[in-house]
A and B are shown apart, each in its own frame.
Chain A
């Protein structure tokens, strides 16, 4: 456990000046403020629709969730998985890392865990900022009725689901980035996977849940159907695609360890 902890601290220390780390913080800020700005400057149009509070929240969080879940989240995961590993490829430091008096599995697990934490920070900020900016909009445009519904449960559930749905993609991209030091291969495969995921997810293909890249899209589709529920916060978190994502994550995480122990020797 101590090995894991110090490796994790070192991961933070090493990458605190990299784009992958800052993107986890900047992305939610930029996207949430853009959506909020849209709702602020176009408030007349939105107010004309006379949404009930719950639908207003759905419109608003859907705007952030839509862009983010389908495109930005997969691409962030692809880029971040690359960046976390590339820091060692680029500097040729795998050898040194594995020559430290630390448990080998802990070193690898810390790296993976660090990537998971970054996704968590990113999605947590998305949820928190969506909530905060919603209330900020209420203050700026008092005619909005954001204050008449508490979306926190929906936000937490959606973003938790999205978080779990992204772990499958993360594990694939993590392995690809372990194997190859260059950006193009993991990026290219990730790009094709994401497009495939969006298409199969949206078309509603029976076996779409088997493709990890489709999981965020599937989660978003389920958000559309959640609106129709009498209590929209009632949707289940652990659905088929989430289980699949977790199985992918677990299996690939273990395979990745064997790859990394073999890889470090070169």
Chain B
């Protein structure tokens, strides 16, 4: 338990009769960037709200830094910074005033506000009313607000939602910097795997309230087995021939045959075998299912 920033043990949560989170056992190691993935409505935001004790979890199911959340609400929240759904910004105040207000609430020196503005690149817009901020600026201010208390754990709920490509890259780099330089643990939720793939060290995939996969990003990659796709004439004969020769056929279409990829040498041998037996092989290539498809597969089958 000591190595996890967040640990949930068989967490269940219902809104009335509707089960939103079912038997969820998250394990977020300290210092990781944990990509919390799932389609819209999978239960991501609900889980984040539970982690912030905004929604009350059953006793002994949620632990933050090893401490049960319901009994240690204030002590836990002191170590957590969060951005839930839209950034919570007072529109009539400037960016700097928003940060000063948060400093007041947290009992931190007001000078921290300037530091945070610099960190997220809003120094020039510090005295502009935050209603006039662009979406990207609001998002960055939201992250600054989450960071102001220098929390060990950051919960970011779809932080790149609505951002343009530049904004997405900025947030991504900021997350990497926070995790590597400042040793923070970050749980970042998203419905886009491609976005998580580049930053996360660990991944949890949730759908309909259930955790379908949890592990390192490499473990996720291993799930997608490489395959060899062979375009060949006379598909049906070739399929029969390969089956007879002891190959496992994964898929046959009217244009190509798919077999598991083992090594380049084996691929060469297979090619030779086909050619020597009178088949014309027009192409032979390694196909790796990308994570996006893998994600779709994982979430579709459940």
Contact = CB atoms under 8 A, between A and B. Distances in A.
A239 B300 CA distance: 69
Contacts of B92: 17-18, 87
A96 B49 contact: no
Interface residues of B, number: 31
Contacts of B76: 101
Interface string A94-105: 011111111100
Contacts of A103: 74
Nearest to B89: A91
A215 to B, nearest CB: 32
B80 to A, nearest CB: 8
Interface in A211-266: 264-265
Contact of A91 (B54, B91, B107): B91
Interface of A: 2, 6-7, 9-10, 13-14, 17-18, 87, 90-93, 95-103, 264-265
Most buried by A among B100, B104, B149: B104
B74 A102 contact: yes
Contacts, number: 69
Contacts of B74: 101-103
B88 A96 contact: yes
16 contacts: A10-B101, A90-B91, A91-B90, A93-B90, A95-B49, A95-B54, A95-B85, A96-B84, A97-B88, A98-B54, A99-B53, A99-B84, A100-B106, A101-B73, A101-B78, A103-B74
Given A17-B92, A101-B73, 12 more contacts: A2-B107, A7-B105, A10-B104, A13-B100, A14-B93, A91-B89, A91-B90, A92-B85, A95-B54, A97-B88, A99-B77, A265-B49
Q: Which of B52, B55, B82, B90 has the most CB of A within 10 A?
A: B90
Nearest to A107: B105
B86 interface: yes
B65 to A, nearest CB: 13
Given A6-B104, A101-B78, A265 B88 contact: no
Contact of B90 (A14, A99, A100, A265): A14
B43 to A, nearest CB: 14
A264 B52 CA distance: 12
B179 to A, nearest CB: 21
A81 B86 CA distance: 25
A13 B52 CA distance: 25
A210 B55 CA distance: 37
Given A91-B90, A95-B54, A100-B77, A6 B107 contact: yes
